[in-house]
Amino acid sequence: MAIAARGAERGEAVVREIEALGGAALFVATDVSQAEQVEALVARTVERFGRLDFGVNNAATIEEGFARTADLTEEQFDRSIGFNLKSVWLSMRAEIRQMLAQEPKGGAIVNTSSVNGLGGVAMASFYAAAKAGILGLTKSAAIEYMALGIRVNALVAGAFRTPMLERAMELATGGKLDAHAAMSERWKQAIPAQRIGRPEEAAEAVVWLCSDAASYVTGHSMIVDGGLSAPYR
């Protein structure tokens, strides 16, 4: 397994965890919004493991903050769309090219979208636009490459207890602990499951989409959100 991220410390920690369980892993420090770094990542992966069977594209940022659409800048648009959407296309492009070049051809790709991509999101229009764009990219590529042995699906993620969710709540509440706790509680109340999801629950869906059990599944937007979006879809 090859792992890519901008943060080397966390990436190397995951590699050690996988190796402790008897697996083989490689970490490659990568900014997936940069084409040459994505291409180098795929090359390193193939060099180490011989081929590329699966690609999971799971990059996102909310560091542009929260503001009304007309109050955002062109620079913020470029950064947000570049990292949240362009990064997925760059990764898909490199992965698909490798999957078509290897013998036997084929593989499976899962792109992480969000329930925010299913509709509009006040104060986060760029993020919503990017996540909606991922669904369009996923479905288009699925149509183009299924006959060539490549399946492409999307994970439409709800709220999961991750550092990114914690950071989003921190930004939204100005770092105030009482407001942060209140926002977390509101999230729970809005979710029919009455809790924020565990990252492992998202991972299980991704593993299934990559597996042979999903061999007839492509172009699918798999919503994993504890029922959060059920009233709106």
Catalytic residue among 127, 145, 216, 232: 127
> Is residue 24, in this structure, part of any structural domain at all?
no
Q: Does residue 31 fall inside a structural domain?
A: no
Instruction: Indicate the burial class of 175 (C-beta count within 10 angstroms; 0-12, 13-18, 19 or more).
Output: exposed
Q: Is 179 part of a structural domain of the chain?
A: yes
Residues β-bridged to residue 107: 150
Helices marked H in 62-113 — which ranges?
74-81, 87-101
pLDDT of amino acid 233:
81
Place 184 in a pLDDT band, splitting at 50, 70 and 90: confident
Residue 188 lies in a domain: yes
CB of 128 within 8 A of CB of 121?
Answer: yes
Report the alpha-carbon angle 1-107-103, nearest 5: 95
Of 106, 208, 91, the closest CA to residue 147 belongs to: 106
pTM summary value: 0.94
Domains: count for the chain: 1
Residue 67 lies in a domain: yes
The domain spanning residue 148 has which CATH number? 3.40.50.720
Per-residue pLDDT tens over the stretch 69-79? 999 999 999 99
Decide if 208 is inside a domain.
Answer: yes
173 assigned to some structural domain: yes
Mean pLDDT of the chain: 94
Does 127 participate in catalysis according to the annotation? yes
161 closest CA partner among 193, 119, 134, 129: 193
Q: Does a structural domain hold residue 81? A: yes
pLDDT digits (tens, 9 = 90+) for 81-107: 999 999 999 999 999 999 999 999 999
Question: Domain range spanning residue 58?
Answer: 53-232
